Amino acid sequence: MIGLVIVDDHPVVRDGLRGMFAGDDRFEVRGEAADGREALAVARAADPDVVLMDLRMPGMDGVTAIRKLREQGCAARVLVLTTYDTDSDVLPAIKAGATGYLLKDTPREELFRAVLAADRGESVLSPAVAGRLIGNLRSPGQEPLSARELEVLGLIARGCTNREAASRLFISEATVKTHLLHAYAKLGVRDRAAAVAAAFERGLLGGS
C-alpha cells in the first residue's frame, strides 16, 4: 500500500483526491496540507511514499516546498499535480526535485498509474509537459528579448496596464500587445504573470 500526502490549497480538490484514492486499496491517504509550509510538517509526521503537490498556493508555494522536502531529507517522491504547464512552472518544479508533473485534467486511472510509477522512482510527465521539456531541450539558444520588449515587461511587472505602458513609452496599445506576444513566445509562456515570473527567474528584470 502506497502512503500518500495530498497538498492543495483548495479543500474541494483535496476532498476529491482523498475520495478517489480511498476507493482503491493500493493507496492510503496519510495526510493533507493546504500550503507548502503545512506540507513540510505533515510529511514529517506521516512519512509518505508519494506527495501529490500543487504549485501555486498562498504562503509557501509548491516549488519551495519540494526543495525544502529534499533539504530536510524526506524520501518521498513528489508528483506535481497542477493546472499550469508553462515553462515558468514546469522547469523550476523539475529542477527542485519533482519526480513527475501532471495536470489536473489527468484521468483517474492515469493518475493512479502515475502514482505507482512515481513510487518506483520513475519520471512521469503529462504529454503537454513532456512536449514543453523536449522543446526546451531542442532550443537552448532561445531568441533574446529586445530592449523594447524588456521595457514593456518591466512596466507590466510594476503593475501597469497595457494602456499605461503605451502612454509611458509613447507607443500604441496595439504595439504594446504585439511586444507582449513576442515576449510570451520567446519565454515559452502564455500570459502576463507567467512572462513576468519567467523574466525575473532568468534575471532579465533585475530580480529573482
Q: What is the pLDDT of residues 23-32, one digit of tens each?
A: 999 999 999 9
pTM metric for this prediction = 0.66
Q: Enumerate the β-bridge partners of residue 32.
A: 6
Q: Give the mean model confidence (pLDDT) for residues 53-67.
A: 94
Please report the DSSP string for 12-65 in residue order: HHHHHHHHHHHTSTTEEEEEEESSHHHHHHHHHHH--SEEEE-S--SSS-HHHH
Q: Where is pLDDT greater, at 80 or 126?
A: 80
Mean pLDDT of the chain, nearest integer: 89
- pLDDT tens digits for range 100-146: 999 999 899 999 999 999 999 888 888 777 766 655 555 544 678 88
Q: Say whether pLDDT at 170 is over 70.
A: yes
How many C-beta atoms surround the C-beta of residue 207 within 10 A? 10
